[in-house]
Structure formats: structure tokens, C-alpha cells
């Protein structure tokens, strides 16, 4: 029996190690090539840098200056922060309303949010882009409302599952003490939602920060471009030629903030998902 369990554990760990290598290999390749000369990247992309191929921080300096890194970083940070705050607050209030006000309207509303989770972005991107320009949402403030729409499905779903586990008597006690519905939510319910709120914030922050297609369609490659768009546009030369060394260096700087953010907050993801996985 012990030998059988040992063999099973070895197989599981081998599969997990293989999956980890597959997922981490692209990041390792980016890190290796970010300090190599442009010619050597195309010639031997998988080799480690040596005294002939190593160029130090030259790629980082070149990419930093050509991509207007700081301005694009500020734009991405503003859009990500504002969008995540809006998603967390608005969807948590929506989920609370859906759970506590049980009627046909809230039931249909809930299923609409769930249905939006399975609709591919590619199906609506052309129509969305048209209306974004018609409604003058093609700016850093306007795109926040678009992200709120696309991020609401999963967020409402997660918040709804957690709120169902909160006894209604807690809210009734707050009402008896004189709290209005708004005060009841922000002073009583929202603090209880902290694990799920943090999880929703992490998942949406990672998605919005790394998103390329939506900002490119709505904001374009002008002065309001986000960091992924800025890196791609600035380091592309004539006839599609790319400075791969500077591109790899900028990819490192682009993914570094979100990796640090994830490493500090990853423990909340499992906690929030498990907390929201309750039966209604």
C-alpha cells in the first residue's frame, strides 16, 4: 500500500514539475535574452549569455527611452487601479442586491452576468470599439467603464457565492440599530467580503495590466497608449523588424510589477475562491 502511494505521489509530482517547467520556460527565455545582443538572440535564443553575447543593461536603457516607459507605465497604473476599484465596489454591491432581493428580475440579472463570462471578447470587439468611439470612451477614463463591463461577470459570480454564506440576521441587526442600506453594506457586509474582494482585485489587476488587445482597439498607439502597446509599437522598426533585445528587456520591466503584486497576494486567491464556493 505504501509503495502504491509512493508511486502515485511520484507521478503527481512529476506532472506538476513538468507543468511548472512549461509555464516558467517562456519567462526564463525572456530573462536570458534581455541581456543578450540583438543578433545573438535570433542566432541562439535558448543559449545562456556569455562574455561575447552579454550586453548588460544596454537593452534596458534603449527600451526604456524608446518606449516612453514612464508615461505608459503611469497610464497603465491609472487604468488598472481605477478599473479594479470600480469592479470591486460595483460588483460587490450588485451581488449583494441579487442575493438579498430575490425575485425574477434579480434571477435573470444573475444569469446574464454568468452568461457574459462565456462570451468570447472577439465576438463583440468590433461592435464594442464602434460604440466606444461613438460614446467618447476612447480615453483613459472611458476605458475604465469598458473594463467594468467585461470584468463584472466573474466578479459578481464570486461575490454572490460568498454573500450567500452570510446570515441575513447580521444585516437585520444593523438595520435595527439605524443603519441605512448603504451604511449596512459598507460598514457590515463589505468588511466580511475582504477575502473575496482581494481575490477579485488580484485577478482583475493581472488581466487589465497585461491586456493588449482592448487598449489597442480603444486607445490606439497615440499618447494614451498603455505599457503593453507602447512596448510593442516603440520597438518595431521598418518592414516589421524588431529590436528583440530591447523588446525582451521591456517585457521584463512590464511583467515585473504584476509578478511582485501576485507573489505578495497569492495566498488570498485560494482563500477567496474557496470562501466563495458555497451552495446557495
pLDDT tens-place string over residues 114-147: 888 888 888 888 888 888 899 888 889 999 999 9
Output the pTM of the full model.
Answer: 0.81
Cell 441605512, residue?
180
Ranges of CATH 1.10.3720.10 domains, the chain:
60-276
- Kindly tell me if the per-residue pLDDT of 219 is higher than 80: yes
CATH code of 60-276, in short, is 1.10.3720.10
- For 188-208, how does the pLDDT look when each residue is reduced to its tens digit (9 = 90+)? 888 888 888 888 998 899 899
Q: Determine the Cα–Cα distance for residues 235 and 172; give it in Å rounded to an integer.
A: 59
Is pLDDT larger for residue 141 or for residue 269? 141
- Kindly tell me if the per-residue pLDDT of 93 is higher than 80: yes
Is pLDDT larger for residue 276 or for residue 244? 244
Least confident range from 87-96, 115-124, 165-174, 257-266: namely 257-266
pLDDT value, residue 280: 43
- Kindly tell me if the per-residue pLDDT of 65 is higher than 80: no
Looking at the chain, the whole-number percentage of residues with pLDDT higher than 90 is: 16
Amino acid at each position: 500500500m505504501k509503495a502504491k502511494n509512493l508511486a502515485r505521489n511520484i507521478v503527481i509530482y512529476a506532472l506538476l514539475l513538468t507543468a511548472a517547467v512549461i509555464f516558467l520556460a517562456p519567462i526564463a527565455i525572456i530573462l536570458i535574452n534581455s541581456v543578450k545582443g540583438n543578433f545573438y538572440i535570433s542566432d541562439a535564443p535558448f543559449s545562456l549569455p556569455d562574455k561575447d553575447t552579454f550586453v548588460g543593461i544596454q537593452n534596458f536603457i534603449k527600451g526604456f527611452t524608446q518606449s516612453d516607459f514612464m508615461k505608459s507605465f503611469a497610464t497603465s497604473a491609472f487604468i488598472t487601479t481605477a478599473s479594479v476599484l470600480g469592479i470591486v465596489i460595483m460588483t460587490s454591491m450588485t451581488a449583494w442586491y441579487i442575493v438579498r432581493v430575490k425575485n425574477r428580475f434579480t434571477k435573470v440579472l444573475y444569469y446574464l452576468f454568468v452568461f457574459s463570462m462565456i462570451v468570447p471578447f472577439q465576438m463583440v470587439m468590433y461592435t464594442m470599439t464602434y460604440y466606444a468611439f461613438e460614446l467618447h470612451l476612447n480615453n483613459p477614463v472611458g476605458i475604465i467603464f469598458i473594463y467594468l463591463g467585461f470584468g463584472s461577470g466573474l466578479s459578481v459570480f464570486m461575490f454572490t457565492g460568498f454573500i450567500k454564506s452570510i446570515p441575513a440576521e447580521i444585516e437585520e441587526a444593523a438595520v435595527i440599530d439605524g443603519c441605512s442600506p448603504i451604511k449596512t453594506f459598507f460598514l457590515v457586509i463589505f468588511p466580511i467580503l475582504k477575502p473575496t474582494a482581494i481575490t477579485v482585485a488580484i485577478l482583475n489587476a493581472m488581466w487589465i495590466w497585461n491586456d493588449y488587445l482592448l487598449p489597442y482597439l480603444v486607445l490606439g498607439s497615440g499618447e494614451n497608449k498603455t505599457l503593453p502597446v507602447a512596448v510593442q509599437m516603440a520597438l518595431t522598426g521598418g518592414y516589421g523588424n524588431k529590436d528583440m533585445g530591447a523588446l525582451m528587456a521591456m517585457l521584463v520591466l512590464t511583467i515585473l510589477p504584476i509578478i511582485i503584486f501576485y507573489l505578495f497576494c497569492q495566498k488570498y486567491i485560494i482563500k477567496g475562491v474557496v470562501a466563495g464556493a458555497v451552495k446557495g
